[in-house]
């Protein structure tokens, strides 16, 4: 495949199959608004933020007679324009779903048999406290692992874990953006950077699927850029909705993006198209980088990627022509190859060669209160404080995954996130030590960590699995105790950091009273800790107390946020290398005026980074010293055997990861994903559209129907992620559509510790 696709040529080329490309199922059934709610009566509007995915967009919910009837975006939140996506708008379908977990439950039969005993909250806490106590006595506290998706739940979970004495707390990040995080850290000494999508002139996306992997503010940013004449180039082995909206689509061979980026860097450096002043002033290691890319010519990259060398040359030149408002998206879900650290580093380096840091339409450091206060050397913006707890006991053993542990392969992985897929390995192998208990919160590892069977086998070996969720998920189905949390529409919470080019916080507020016998996480953790004799670590009594502590006692800020749904500090977006925004910043914060240099910019922080050289490290001194990976180098990877097809996944606009497939409205919109297969490949296997197939990798197999479409490379298959659920407790979604993680292998990528979500499969008709 060596073709450039514009929208036009694509449609010509794909012929009749084009009609099936979008793969979005037929028109939705009409479903009535929140059952039983009348649209008459008094309406209230409550401002909060969404949790139908972790983009966490600010919302406004309309409540009539105590029932939520409509969810919109917060009309005052400019970045989303007061809009939500289809999932956000369906929040109340989840809220009123009778298939939610309605009461705490303790397993009554064999693990995974589906027999439960409904219990009181107190009995559930007592059960967990006793089992955790027994694990601690027999194996030590580190034999308990805690995993949580991340976000506002995190502080509570980590507090309980540390008080209990285990260092083993995890987020989902190793299955999602961790390669990007580690690459940004290696380059800048911080991962807290963003992209100013709305002002970009040229955006190159390597599988950043803005219009299906949705973050409303970012998607709107890209749409704004396009409407202002910006160019979008999509590189993706399949025709995503993002590819559809792009000016050009390149169906790259899976797992070869690094070759493309190295060749782009080659052209930028070979033709001196990079920003020489920027590179000289702010970066370190350019000469080593230059020496490392000489062989990575566009002709070489064409052989790896299937993208014509002339197109690679042109894209590099167009990027340079649009600089500094030219960006290569560093991606979100970074799981395409085991060489993901190198790929994300190469992308970050391209951006720095384009000199796009701290300018509108480029990349920027997130302006958290800590960043701004640190910059001006004084507190000018309120930051979160939190409550004081007694000191935690020192953990007796290091983390089981070695994240942040000197001398370990996962040293560069932030220990706050860890390498979550090592939990099942540790349970099964008892290495580096036995793990006997797993506390899982707002997280569904059975559905979302590759090699499902291995995760299930590990769970079967546990003494205790606690799951706190809203649905009887694939993981909850295997638990000893299930704790039903109130949904985001039923609970109050503390502040949520929502910083970007300006600092800001959002606030979750209860929209309606809990429908079932459920509780918010901050109450669950406090009660559980009290049962375990660890109550002093959770000294608050109410949500108001938590919020006030977070805002350093500023009742006025709490009130303002309750009313508006968010707290902003009246800043315009701050880009430190842009004269206009620096002038606006200095006018608002007089302390900043002395930092402005003769060019009218503030670049002190860019010359004082937390890297060894204090500069932007094109050559990462840390990755060089530890792993000999200072600059990105191409190591070919084998993702599929010769007789196999690549299997890749992506998000659908209508569902979230392993979360929403059982939500009534969303299930009705998209109940079951099919396996995409190219017409030529289908013909070779003798498949018709809609045929049922078995697909098999060296890890496992599964069955699903096929969708025959020219929107995928002939050597590749694609499925929307999150279908094919294993929990009979999800009565709608159970076994509907193509499962992904049944066939994906367990992997830990070098340096960044990410999983791998590409593999090779064979297909046969059943």
Q: Tell which phi-psi region holds residue 112, choosing left (phi > 0), alpha (psi between -120 and 50) or beta.
A: left
In terms of CB distance, is 336 or 726 closer to ligand MGD? 336
Query: Which residue of 46, 101, 412, 653 would you call a contact of ligand MGD, by CB under 6 A?
Result: 653
The CB-of-197 to ligand MGD minimum distance in angstroms stands at 12
Query: Which residue of 153, 180, 215, 454 would you call a contact of ligand SF4, by CB under 6 A?
Result: 215
| Binding flag, residue 214, ligand MGD (CB under 6 A) | yes
| Binding flag, residue 353, Mo ion (CB under 5 A) | no
Residue with tokens 């002939």, as numbered in its chain? 714
Nearest partner of 762 among 688, 686, 685, judged by Cα: 685
| Binding flag, residue 56, ligand SF4 (CB under 6 A) | yes
Nearest partner of 314 among 357, 264, 388, 348, judged by Cα: 264
CA–CA–CA angle 249, 255, 259 (5° rounding) = 80
Q: What, of ligand MGD, Mo ion, ligand SF4, none, does residue 581 touch, CB below 5 to 8 Å by kind?
A: none
Alpha carbons 403 and 2: distance in angstroms, whole number: 41
Query: Candidates 175-183, 214-222, 357-365, 709-717 — which segment interacts with Mo ion by CB under 5 A?
Result: 175-183
Give me the 372-401 binding string for ligand MGD, x by CB under 6 A, dash otherwise: ------------------------------
Alpha carbons 601 and 623: distance in angstroms, whole number: 31
Query: Candidates 47-55, 234-242, 509-517, 527-535 — which segment interacts with ligand SF4 by CB under 6 A?
Result: 47-55
The CB-of-55 to Mo ion minimum distance in angstroms stands at 10
Query: Which residue of 63, 105, 154, 176 would you call a contact of Mo ion, by CB under 5 A?
Result: 176
Q: Hey, what's the torsion of the CAs at 199, 204, 210, 213, to 10 degrees?
A: -140
Query: Which residue of 52, 456, 592, 595 would you call a contact of ligand SF4, by CB under 6 A?
Result: 52
Give me the 309-348 binding string for Mo ion, x by CB under 5 A, dash otherwise: ------------------------x---------------
Paired tokens of 706: 């096929």
Residue with tokens 């080593």, as numbered in its chain? 288
In terms of CB distance, is 622 or 656 closer to ligand MGD? 656
Count CA atoms within 13 Å of residue 547 on its CB side. Answer: 23
| Binding flag, residue 251, ligand MGD (CB under 6 A) | no
Nearest partner of 86 among 720, 737, 665, judged by Cα: 665
| Binding flag, residue 147, ligand SF4 (CB under 6 A) | no
Query: Candidates 213-221, 504-512, 616-624, 664-672 — which segment interacts with ligand SF4 by CB under 6 A?
Result: 213-221
In terms of CB distance, is 239 or 282 closer to ligand MGD? 239
Paired tokens of 375: 């910059």
Q: What spatial distance separates the first Cα and last Cα of the chain, rounded to whole Å?
A: 29
| Binding flag, residue 95, ligand SF4 (CB under 6 A) | no
Query: Which residue of 37, 79, 85, 204 would you call a contact of ligand SF4, by CB under 6 A?
Result: 85
Alpha carbons 682 and 689: distance in angstroms, whole number: 9
Q: What, of Mo ion, ligand SF4, ligand MGD, none, does residue 653 touch, CB below 5 to 8 Å by kind?
A: ligand MGD
Which residues lie closer than 8 Å to 439 by C-beta, 6 or more apart?
144, 145, 146, 147, 157, 161, 466, 468
CB 274 within 8 A of CB 318: no
Alpha carbons 724 and 736: distance in angstroms, whole number: 5
Backbone angles phi, psi at 205, to 5 degrees: -115, 120
Query: Which residue of 37, 63, 84, 319 would you call a contact of ligand SF4, by CB under 6 A?
Result: 84
Residue with tokens 């007679």, as numbered in its chain? 65
CB 540 within 8 A of CB 549: yes
| Binding flag, residue 449, Mo ion (CB under 5 A) | no
Query: Which residue of 198, 254, 415, 750 would you call a contact of ligand MGD, by CB under 6 A?
Result: 254
CB 635 within 8 A of CB 342: yes
Query: Which residue of 330, 488, 665, 676 would you call a contact of ligand MGD, by CB under 6 A?
Result: 488
Nearest partner of 251 among 235, 267, 262, 263, judged by Cα: 235
Nearest partner of 633 among 247, 346, 290, 245, judged by Cα: 346
Q: Which of residues 695-724 bind ligand MGD (CB under 6 A)?
A: 718, 721
Closest-by-Cβ residue to ligand MGD is 213
Paired tokens of 102: 């309605």
Helix (H) or strand (E) holding 320: helix 309-322
What is residue 393's DSSP assignment? P
Query: Which residue of 47, 100, 136, 149 would you call a contact of ligand MGD, by CB under 6 A?
Result: 149
Other CB atoms within 10 A of residue 429 CB: 12
Q: What, of ligand MGD, ligand SF4, Mo ion, none, does residue 304 touch, CB below 5 to 8 Å by kind?
A: none
CA–CA–CA angle 744, 745, 748 (5° rounding) = 125
The CB-of-442 to ligand SF4 minimum distance in angstroms stands at 14
List interacting residues with Mo ion (CB under 5 A).
176, 333
Residues that bind ligand SF4 (CB under 6 A): 50, 52-53, 55-57, 84-85, 87-88, 214-216
Contacts with ligand MGD, residue ranges (CB under 6 A): 51, 53-55, 149, 172, 175-176, 206-209, 212-215, 235-238, 240, 252, 254-255, 257, 331-333, 336, 441-444, 448, 450, 468-471, 473, 485, 487-488, 648-651, 653, 655-659, 718, 721, 740-741, 744, 757-758
């Amino acid at each position: 495949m060596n073709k450039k696709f514009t929208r036009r040529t694509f449609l010509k080329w794909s012929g009749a199959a084009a009609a099936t490309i979008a793969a979005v199922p037929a028109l939705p059934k009409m479903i009535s608004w929140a059952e039983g709610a009348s649209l008459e009566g008094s309406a209230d509007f409550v401002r909060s933020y969404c949790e139908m995915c972790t983009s966490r967009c600010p919302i406004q919910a309309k409540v009539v007679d105590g029932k939520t009837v409509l969810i919109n975006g917060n009309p005052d939140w400019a970045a989303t324009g007061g809009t939500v996506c289809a999932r956000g708008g369906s929040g109340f379908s989840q809220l009123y779903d009778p298939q939610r977990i309605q009461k705490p439950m303790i397993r009554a039969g064999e693990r995974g048999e589906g027999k439960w005993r409904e219990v009181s909250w107190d009995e559930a806490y007592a059960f967990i406290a006793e089992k955790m106590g027994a694990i601690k006595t027999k194996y030590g506290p580190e034999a308990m692992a805690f995993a949580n998706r991340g976000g506002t739940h995190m502080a509570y979970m980590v507090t309980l874990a540390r008080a209990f004495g285990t260092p083993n707390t995890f987020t989902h990040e190793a299955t999602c953006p961790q390669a990007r995080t580690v690459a940004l850290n290696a380059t800048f000494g911080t991962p807290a950077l963003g992209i100013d999508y709305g002002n970009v002139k040229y955006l190159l996306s390597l599988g950043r699927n803005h219009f299906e992997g949705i973050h409303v503010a970012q998607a709107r940013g890209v749409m704004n850029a396009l409407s202002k004449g910006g160019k979008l180039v999509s590189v993706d082995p399949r025709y995503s909705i993002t590819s559809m909206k792009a000016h050009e689509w390149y169906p790259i061979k899976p797992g070869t993006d690094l070759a493309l980026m190295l060749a782009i860097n080659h052209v930028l450096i070979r033709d001196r198209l990079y920003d020489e002043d920027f590179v000289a002033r702010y970066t370190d290691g350019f000469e080593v980088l230059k020496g490392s890319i000489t062989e990575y010519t566009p002709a070489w990259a064409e052989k790896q990627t299937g993208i014509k060398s002339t197109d690679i040359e042109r894209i590099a030149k167009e990027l340079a022509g649009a600089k500094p408002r030219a960006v290569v998206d560093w991606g979100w879900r970074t799981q395409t190859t085991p060489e993901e650290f190198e790929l994300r580093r190469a992308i970050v380096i391209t951006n720095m060669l384009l000199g796009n840091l701290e300018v509108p339409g480029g990349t920027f450091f997130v302006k958290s209160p800590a960043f701004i206060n640190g910059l001006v050397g004084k507190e000018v913006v309120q930051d979160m404080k939190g409550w004081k707890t007694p000191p935690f006991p020192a953990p007796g053993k290091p983390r089981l995954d070695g994240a942040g542990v000197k001398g370990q392969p996962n040293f560069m992985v932030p220990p706050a996130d860890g390498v979550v897929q090592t939990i099942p390995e540790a349970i099964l192998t008892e290495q580096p030590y036995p793990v006997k208990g797993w506390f899982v919160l707002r997280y569904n590892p059975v559905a979302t960590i590759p090699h499902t069977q291995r995760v299930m086998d590990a769970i079967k070996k546990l003494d205790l699995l606690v799951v706190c969720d809203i649905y009887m998920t694939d993981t909850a189905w295997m638990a000893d105790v299930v704790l039903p949390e109130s949904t985001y529409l039923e609970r109050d919470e503390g502040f949520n950091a929502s910083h970007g080019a300006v600092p800001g916080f959002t606030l979750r507020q209860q929209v309606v009273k809990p429908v079932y016998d459920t509780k918010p996480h901050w109450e669950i953790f406090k009660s559980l800790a009290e049962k375990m004799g660890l109550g002093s670590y959770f000294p608050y009594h109410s949500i108001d107390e938590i919020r006030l502590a977070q805002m350093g006692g500023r009742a006025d800020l709490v009130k303002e946020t309750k009313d508006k749904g968010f707290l902003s500090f009246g800043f315009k977006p701050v880009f430190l290398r842009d004269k206009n925004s620096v002038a606006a910043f200095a006018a608002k914060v007089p302390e900043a005026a002395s930092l402005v240099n003769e060019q009218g910019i503030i670049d002190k922080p860019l010359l004082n980074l937390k890297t060894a050289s204090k500069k932007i490290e094109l050559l990462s001194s840390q990755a060089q010293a530890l792993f000999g990976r200072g600059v990105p180098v191409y190591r070919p990877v084998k993702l599929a055997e010769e007789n196999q097809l690549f299997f890749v996944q992506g998000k659908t606009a209508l569902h979230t990861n392993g979360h929403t497939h059982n939500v009534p409205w969303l299930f009705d919109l998209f109940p079951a994903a099919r396996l995409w297969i190219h017409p030529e490949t289908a013909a070779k296997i003798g498949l018709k559209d809609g045929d049922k197939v078995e697909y098999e990798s060296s890890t496992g197999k599964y069955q699903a129907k096929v969708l025959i479409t020219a929107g995928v490379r002939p050597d590749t298959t694609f499925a929307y992620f999150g279908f094919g659920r294993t929990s009979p407790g999800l009565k709608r979604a159970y076994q509907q559509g193509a499962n992904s993680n049944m066939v994906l292998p367990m992997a830990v990528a070098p340096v960044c510790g990410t999983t791998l979500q590409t593999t090779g499969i064979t297909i046969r008709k059943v």
